[in-house]
A and B are shown apart, each in its own frame.
Chain A
Amino acid sequence: MNVPPRASVDDAIVASGLGKRFRLRHERPTSLSRQLIDMVTRTDRSEPFWALKDVSFTVPRGGALGIVGRNGSGKSTLLKILAGTLAPTTGMLEVRGSMSTLLQLGGGFHPDFTGRNNAFLSGALLGIPEPVLREGFDELVRFAELEQFIDIPTKYYSAGMLARLGFAVSMAVDAEIMIIDEVLGVGDAAFQRKCEARMRAMMADGRTIVIVSHDPGAVKTLCQRAVWLDRGVIRAIGQADEVVAEYASAY
Chain B
Amino acid sequence: MAVATNVSNAHAVMWAMCPGTVHQVKFMASSVAVTPPSVTFTHQRSLWQHRHLMVALAGRDLRARYRQSFLGLYWAVLNPLIQTVVMAFVFVTVMGVTSQRVPFVVLYFSGILYWSFFTNAVTGAMGSISAQVYLLEKHRFPIAVLPLASILARVVDFVLSLGVFALLLAWYGLPVPETIWLWLPMMALLLLPTIGLGLLAAALNTLYRDVSQIVGIVFTLGFFLTPIVYDADTVQAPYRWWLLLNPVAAAIHGSRRALFGPEPAPLEEFVPALLLGLAILGGGYLIFRRLQSTFTEVL
Contact = CB atoms under 8 A, between A and B. Distances in A.
Bound together: yes
Contacts of B49: 127
Interface in B11-30: 22, 25-26, 29-30
Contact of A83 (B36, B40, B45, B140): B140
Interface residues of A, number: 49
B29 A124 contact: no
Interface size class of B (residues with CB under 8 A): 35 or more
Contacts of B234: none
A21 B37 contact: no
Given A48-B26, A124-B52, A125-B53, A110 B60 contact: yes
Interface in B60-81: 60, 63-64, 67
Contacts of A83: 139-140
Interface stretch (B1-9, B130-138, B245-253): B130-138
A48 B40 contact: no
Contacts of B39: 81, 84, 87-88, 92-94
A117 interface: yes
Contacts of A81: 39
B136 A99 contact: no
A113 interface: yes
B42 A97 contact: yes
A23 B276 CA distance: 37
Interface in B91-142: 134-141
A112 interface: yes
A236 interface: no
Contacts of A121: 53, 56-57, 60
Given A30-B209, A110-B60, A85 B41 contact: no
Q: In terms of DSSP, what is the predominant structure of the interface of chain A?
A: mixed
B34 interface: yes
Nearest to A33: B210
A158 to B, nearest CB: 18
Given A35-B208, A50-B29, A90-B35, A107 B137 contact: yes
A95 B64 contact: no
A101 B52 contact: no
Given A47-B22, A88-B37, A22 B64 contact: no
Interface in A11-40: 18-19, 21-22, 30-33, 35
Interface string B197-211: 000000000001111
A21 B34 contact: yes
B38 interface: yes
B43 A99 contact: yes
A139 interface: no
Contacts of A96: 42
A95 B40 contact: yes
A44 to B, nearest CB: 8
13 contacts: A31-B208, A31-B209, A48-B30, A90-B35, A92-B39, A93-B37, A94-B40, A96-B42, A108-B135, A110-B64, A121-B53, A122-B139, A124-B50
Interface of B: 22, 25-26, 29-30, 34-43, 45, 49-50, 52-53, 56-57, 60, 63-64, 67, 134-141, 208-211, 293, 296-297
